[in-house]
Amino acid sequence: MKLLKSIPVLLAILLSVLTSVAQTHFYLDEPFKRPAKIPDALVPLLRDIAQECRAEGVNAGTDVRSWFSASKINIGDDRSGLILKSGKWCLNGVDNNWFWIFRKTARGYRPVMNAGTISLDVLRSTTRGLRNIETNAATAQTNYTNMYKFDGERYKARICSETQLFPTGQKPKRVPCRTQ
């Protein structure tokens, strides 16, 4: 009888743990599954990013938070981070949505990665203490896969490949990584 009473408690604990876990797969054409609030400390950095969007003027009164959505991202065992993407058309392209990853440090948030892609996976493998990240984007003819590794300061594309989609069954071909 005691066992039956403890099952709902255990299920509640398990459910709360699972829902607080950071997302590891992101399809950037869809809303984040677990949205997060954008901290005040990130607003100046977002203002700098938004300034690059030449289609609209950005000043101190511009609500740049409305240009972005955020989610927690688990880039390391004890390293919390946020991934942000933009809904603003001037910061995105066809099958290429820009995203930014910020790592929380003792001195505030620090950008560790920005790139464009359609999907992103946080892998189990690590480099210099942070998880590797794989991105994928495609055209009608080619799928592009990039593996990013942390160099101690920022993520950099280290392994890049292209797969021709037609004829089907093609194997990925390693190509030089492009810088962004």
Is residue 62 in a domain?
yes
Is residue 6 in a domain?
no
Is residue 9 in a domain?
no
Q: Which two structure tokens, joined as six digits, stand for 115? A: 């790139």
Is residue 59 in a domain?
yes
Residue-level pLDDT at 18:
44
Residue-level pLDDT at 19:
42
Taking Cα atoms as reference points, which of 124, 143, 146, 125 lies closest to residue 135?
A: 146
Residue-level pLDDT at 79:
64
Element holding 126 (H helix, E strand): strand 119-127
Taking Cα atoms as reference points, which of 77, 71, 53 lies closest to residue 129?
A: 77
Is residue 12 in a domain?
no
- Total domains in the chain come to 1
Is residue 100 in a domain?
yes
Is residue 14 in a domain?
no
- pLDDT-flagged residues of the chain (< 70): 1-22, 53-60, 77-79, 88-95, 180
pLDDT in tens, 105-118: 888 899 999 998 99
